[in-house]
Chain A
Amino acid sequence: AQSVTQLGSHVSVSEGALVLLRCNYSSSVPPYLFWYVQYPNQGLQLLLKYTSAATLVKGINGFEAEFKKSETSFHLTKPSAHMSDAAEYFCAVTLGSGGGADGLTFGKGTHLIIQP
């Protein structure tokens, strides 16, 4: 079964500093990985996804992630944090049920705090 683990339930960075949110996966098949962001009292918005086309994936709002098979990781980074980045971030992987549509299984989430 596919799963993801997010290290660090809370991450605090200063405005303008590097953001690094960690995600490791466990998968018996080639994984398809996603990063979603959730602002308070809202749904989830896709930041980026890995589909095996390229190991370095660029997303919205200046975020990017690198797929490293040797480390089973898909960490999310942003060079310079902005106050508006404060939110909950979820790493997710498709369940791999093999059906026509595949649900997602999410990591526990990382709450990103931006210090002024």
Chain B
Amino acid sequence: DTEVTQTPKHLVMGMTNKKSLKCEQHMGHRAMYWYKQKAKKPPELMFVYSYEKLSINESVPSRFSPECPNSSLLNLHLHALQPEDSALYLCASSQGGRRRTDTQYFGPGTRLTVL
């Protein structure tokens, strides 16, 4: 099973709301990632977790707050977002460890609209 699941599929929120995106994998992977993809653009890396510890934060605004409660779950908490944060949020996972050749498996994404 090489599936990464993401919920919800779609999310509409106001600028004052607090919401969370969820990502789950059961492949035993120890690295998990959040990417943001604007329309007709490539994905851009936001965060990397390695063995449940945040290892890369690509200067993402604090209104995005990642959390990795265990090795299978990755959350992205959203608060006070701006309309320009509307995008497809992709989660990915890979085996982990010091292997730059690992394949990243992507979930289908959550399409977020901020009103």
Contact = CB atoms under 8 A, between A and B. Distances in A.
A108 interface: yes
A32 B107 contact: no
Contact of A107 (B42, B45, B48): B42
A106 B44 CA distance: 7
Contact of A43 (B31, B58, B94, B108): B108
Nearest to B103: A46
A46 B4 CA distance: 13
Interface residues of B, number: 34
Contacts of B98: 99-100
- The majority secondary structure among interface residues of chain A is loop
B71 to A, nearest CB: 12
Contact of B101 (A51, A108, A109): A51
Contact of A100 (B96, B103, B111): B96
Contacts of B58: 103
Interface in A5-58: 32, 34, 36, 41-46, 49, 51
B28 interface: no
Contact of A95 (B31, B45, B90, B96): B45
Given A100-B55, A101-B55, A103-B33, 17 more contacts: A32-B101, A34-B103, A42-B108, A43-B4, A43-B109, A44-B43, A46-B103, A49-B103, A51-B101, A90-B42, A90-B43, A100-B50, A100-B51, A101-B48, A101-B50, A103-B45, A109-B42
